[in-house]
Every structure is written in structure tokens, then in C-alpha cells.
Amino acid sequence: MNWFAIGNIADIPLRGARCVKTPQGKIAVFRTAENEVFAIEDHCPHKGGPLSQGIVHAKAVTCPLHNWVISLETGKALGADEGAVKTIALKNDGGALFIALESLMVAAE
């Protein structure tokens, strides 16, 4: 597991998200109203919508394409829908944020 610096918590609006580009696709990084930070794949399990563009509420995000609600903690769809995205380990070091990517991905080049 390798930790990559992605920036500061202040770069993300409260109840908002930013995305991080990686070789294996985009990762969405969320900041909740309570200042918690989560990272999940930026790819809704339903039709691949960009979750980073959704509305953030409590510890969940609503996908902008078809309103699936995804838990930021577990990556699982909430409500009647079924599906899940991968969650990405994230470290908040006094506001400096790091995400964990597998070494395999980094070594790929």
C-alpha cells in the first residue's frame, strides 16, 4: 500500500467533492458537513455516473445521473438499489490528505 498526497481538506467545499485522477480511473474525495473525508471510486455502480458531481448529504452522495444514493463509508448503494463501489483508504493528517493506492498500479509503468 502506498500513500499519495492529494492536497488539503480546505480544497474541498463542505458538503462537496473533488476528483483525483489516477492511472486506474478517477477517485472521488468527499468532505461532509461534519468535516469527515472519504474517498471512493468516481463511478456509480448503476450506470457509471460521476459520483463526485453529486449532492453530498450526511455520509452519502446522490449520483447526478439517476439519483442512486451511495454510502461514502461502505461504498454500497442505499435504499432499494443494489450495488457497490470500491472505497479507497484515506488518511487525514491535520488537514493534509493522502489516499492509498496499491503498489501494483504505481509500478505499472
Decide if residue 104 touches other proteins (CB under 8 A). no
Site string for other proteins, 40-69 (x = CB under 8 A): -------xxxx--xxxxxx---x-xx-x-x
Of the two residues 53 and 87, which places its CB atom closer to other proteins in the complex? 53
Q: Is 23 in the site for other proteins (CB under 8 A)?
A: yes
* 14: its cell numbers: 463542505
E strands present in the chain? 2-8, 16-22, 25-31, 37-41, 55-57, 60-62, 69-71, 77-78, 87-88, 90-93, 96-101
Q: What's the CA gap between 70 and 67, in Å, rounded?
A: 9
Interface contacts to other proteins, rule CB under 8 A: 2-7, 11-16, 18-23, 26, 29, 32-34, 47-50, 53-58, 62, 64-65, 67, 69, 79-80, 98, 101, 103, 105-106, 108-109
